[in-house]
Amino acid sequence: MDQTPENDLRIAHSHTTLRELVVEKMRQAIISGRFDGGDRLVERTLCDQLGVSRSVVREAIRYLEAEGLVETLARSGPVVAKLDWNGARQIYEIRRLLEAEAAAACARVADAAVKARLCDALAALESAFQDAAPHKLYAATTDFYQVIFTSARHNIAWEVVQRLNGRISRLRALTLATTNRRVSGPAHMARICAAICDNAPEAAAEAVRNHLVDAAEIARTLLESPP
Amino acid sequence: MDQTPENDLRIAHSHTTLRELVVEKMRQAIISGRFDGGDRLVERTLCDQLGVSRSVVREAIRYLEAEGLVETLARSGPVVAKLDWNGARQIYEIRRLLEAEAAAACARVADAAVKARLCDALAALESAFQDAAPHKLYAATTDFYQVIFTSARHNIAWEVVQRLNGRISRLRALTLATTNRRVSGPAHMARICAAICDNAPEAAAEAVRNHLVDAAEIARTLLESPP
DNA sequence: GACCGTAAGGTGGTATACCATATGATTGCA
DNA sequence: TGCAATCATATGGTATACCACCTTACGGTC
């Protein structure tokens, strides 16, 4: 049932609901650290801050709850989920499994078009590293992996990874900002890209694993250092 | 609020929140096939069937939407997510990765208590196989894996697997009911249990992989044969 | 100082109203 | 008759008011 009305005069209006906007706002607020782990999410306060009604806020909270960014305590209400090293460690391990598999699959099926898109993404990534713009870097990293996952046709794994990344996003932002990471990061990415362009699945998987071991190590030092 | 207790979808008020009950009811309705893939979820109809207000239904839908069991189409509203073999295949592959890793980790750390719990779960599983009670079998299988994941301290991976299982639950119910599976299933499980009791990580991982390859194969034949 | 009652603030839940849009039926005009 | 405009209905999205219940903090009483 694909109806793509090219000659439709109507403006393609995105039809983003308020709810989606609020979900995105709140997700960003949690990611950016504006809402800290453990903070209570008081419905009516959020209504005021966001300028929307309770319905919208409550539904957005339910969505984020299912995503794992928010947890609702019985008889107390929703709070921002807290992240400890135990949780982060598990997430990095899951990412290691899924991303290594995706990179290997991508290396197996990558044709010229995929390689070109990947190299573009890598170039954007390196450019973002140069600019030292955190949000650009974040977006570029996401793009790079998205190319890998989608071209490997691992779109459900990509969903999983994105959701997990939401839960460690503060951490990712921190690791991306770390000097150490700023040096080793692009090198890892370049190796991953090279392995895929060589259609070398095992090398690609290994490069991904190395990257994530490093990232997890930086995350650990950040999390275990005094709050 | 009229109360006609003959309606079997009507939820029983209790200590947990209405929202959670509704989420569970709807999840079960989707899993059991009462709501089929592609079916529209009309809010006001659900309100009548469940005997709750729109707010509760809408929040439950948001939760299931984030879980991937429901998707909301623009200008049309929520529908039950459809499952094709491509999606199911990916989910089985992700499960293969996560469950193999969890089984290996469990085998590494399993002490007498863990082994006892695992053997208990296996016994319950085999008993459920004998009874040929689908829902018991389903629950027993879940319990068995839960012991593995929780004792390996892979609770986030367990969350992920549970959510993914929700999306292929109809399929799981079918595979569990298949005779073929009824024969090979417990054998696989017994091998997994034995490997863990031997503290043999690689053997445990391999047993899990074999189990899932079989399950995926059965699922494929079920999905690709016209209903 | 301990205890109890009350008030405030919060969530959970419900009912209702309003608007925008999609869809199908109906009506009216050529 | 046929087509088009219009109307009605269904439905989702949003806002608002209200109630019940729980928790917490405060303050008064013993």
pLDDT in tens, B99-111: 999 999 999 999 9
Q: How far is the CA of A73 from the C1' of D23 (A)?
A: 13
Q: State residue A16's pLDDT score.
A: 85
What nucleotide is nearest A54 when CA is compared to C1'?
D15
Q: State residue B22's pLDDT score.
A: 92
Nearest to B155 by CA among A220, A88, A101: A88
Nearest to A167 by CA among A37, A42, A25: A37
Residue A42 has pLDDT above 60, yes or no: yes
Q: State residue B10's pLDDT score.
A: 40
Put simply, the answer to whether A63 touches B65 (Cβ < 8 Å) is yes
Q: How far apart are CA A61 and CA A58, in angstroms?
A: 5
Q: Nearest-CA residue of chain B relative to A58?
A: B59
Average pLDDT, chain A: 87
Q: Where residue B130 falls among pLDDT bands split at 50, 70, 90? A: confident
Q: Where residue A11 falls among pLDDT bands split at 50, 70, 90? A: very low
Residue A219 has pLDDT above 70, yes or no: yes
Task: Tell me if A212 sits within 8 A of A88, measured CB to CB.
Answer: no
Residue A212 has pLDDT above 90, yes or no: yes
Task: Tell me if A81 sits within 8 A of A37, measured CB to CB.
Answer: yes
> How does DSSP classify residue B11?
P
Residue A167 has pLDDT above 80, yes or no: yes
Question: Parallel, antiparallel, or unpaired: how do β-strands A77-80 and A70-73 relate?
Answer: antiparallel
Residue A32 has pLDDT above 60, yes or no: yes
* C-beta within 7 A of nucleic chain D, residues 6-65 of B: 40-45, 54-55, 58
Q: Where residue A85 falls among pLDDT bands split at 50, 70, 90? A: very high
Q: How far is the CA of A35 from the C1' of C1 (A)?
A: 40
Q: Where residue A131 falls among pLDDT bands split at 50, 70, 90? A: confident
Spatial neighbors of A34 by CB under 8 A, at least 6 apart, are none
Average pLDDT over residues A76-89: 91
Q: State residue A108's pLDDT score.
A: 97
Strand C–CB A42 distance below 7 A:
yes
Q: State residue A53's pLDDT score.
A: 93
Task: Dump pLDDT digits (tens) for B54-72.
Answer: 999 999 999 999 999 999 9
Residue A6 has pLDDT above 50, yes or no: no
Q: State residue B9's pLDDT score.
A: 40
- Name the fold adopted by A85-224: Four Helix Bundle (Hemerythrin (Met), subunit A) (1.20.120)
Q: How far apart are CA B181 and CA A212, in angstroms?
A: 37
* C-beta within 7 A of nucleic chain D, residues 64-93 of B: 72, 76-78
Task: Tell me if B93 sits within 8 A of B138, measured CB to CB.
Answer: no
DSSP A21-85: HHHHHHHHHHHTTSSPTT-B--HHHHHHHHT--HHHHHHHHHHHHHHTSEEEETTTEEEEPP--H
Q: State residue A181's pLDDT score.
A: 62
Q: How far apart are CA B90 and CA A60, in angstroms?
A: 28
Q: State residue B185's pLDDT score.
A: 64
**Closest-CA distance of chain A to residue B94, Å:** 7
Q: Where residue B169 falls among pLDDT bands split at 50, 70, 90? A: confident
Task: Tell me if A57 sits within 8 A of A46, measured CB to CB.
Answer: yes
Average pLDDT over residues A38-59: 92
Spatial neighbors of B203 by CB under 8 A, at least 6 apart, are B107, B195
Residue A124 has pLDDT above 50, yes or no: yes
What are all long-range contacts of A142-146, with beta carbons under 8 Å and residues at least 24 apart? A144/A118, A144/A189, A145/A99
Put simply, the answer to whether B157 touches A90 (Cβ < 8 Å) is yes
Q: How far apart are CA B166 and CA B152, in angstroms?
A: 22
Distance of CA A189 to CAs A101, A149, A214, Å?
16, 14, 12
What nucleotide is nearest B44 when CA is compared to C1'?
D11
**A8: helix, strand or coil:** coil
Q: How far apart are CA B134 and CA B125, in angstroms?
A: 11
Q: How far apart are CA A18 and CA A162, in angstroms?
A: 22
Q: State residue A185's pLDDT score.
A: 64
Task: Tell me if B169 sits within 8 A of B32, measured CB to CB.
Answer: no
Domain boundaries of chain A, sorted by first residue: 18-80, 85-224
- Point out which residues pair with A70 in neighbouring strands: A80
Strand C–CB B53 distance below 7 A:
yes
Strand D–CB A127 distance below 7 A:
no
Phi, psi for residue B78 in degrees, rounded to 5: -75, 140
Residue A38 has pLDDT above 60, yes or no: yes
Between B178 and B148, residue with greater pLDDT: B148
Candidates A59, A68, A97; nearest CB to B98: A97
**Closest-CA distance of chain B to residue A54, Å:** 10
Residue A8 has pLDDT above 50, yes or no: no
> Which nucleotides of strand D lie within 7 A of protein CB?
10-17, 22-24
Place of tokens 């997430």: A91
Average pLDDT over residues B123-132: 85
Q: State residue A55's pLDDT score.
A: 93
Q: State residue B56's pLDDT score.
A: 92
Residue B198 has pLDDT above 80, yes or no: yes
- Name the fold adopted by B18-80: Arc Repressor Mutant, subunit A (1.10.10)
Residue A156 has pLDDT above 90, yes or no: yes
Q: Measured in whole angstroms, how far is the alpha carbon of residue A69 from the centre of its chain?
A: 13
Q: Measured in whole angstroms, how far is the alpha carbon of residue A121 from the centre of its chain?
A: 15
Place of tokens 């190319």: A147
Between A85 and A177, residue with greater pLDDT: A85
Strand C–CB A155 distance below 7 A:
no
Q: State residue A9's pLDDT score.
A: 33
Element (DSSP H or E) covering residue A213: helix A201-224
Q: State residue A12's pLDDT score.
A: 41
Residue B214 has pLDDT above 50, yes or no: yes
Average pLDDT over residues A2-12: 35
Put simply, the answer to whether A160 touches B156 (Cβ < 8 Å) is no
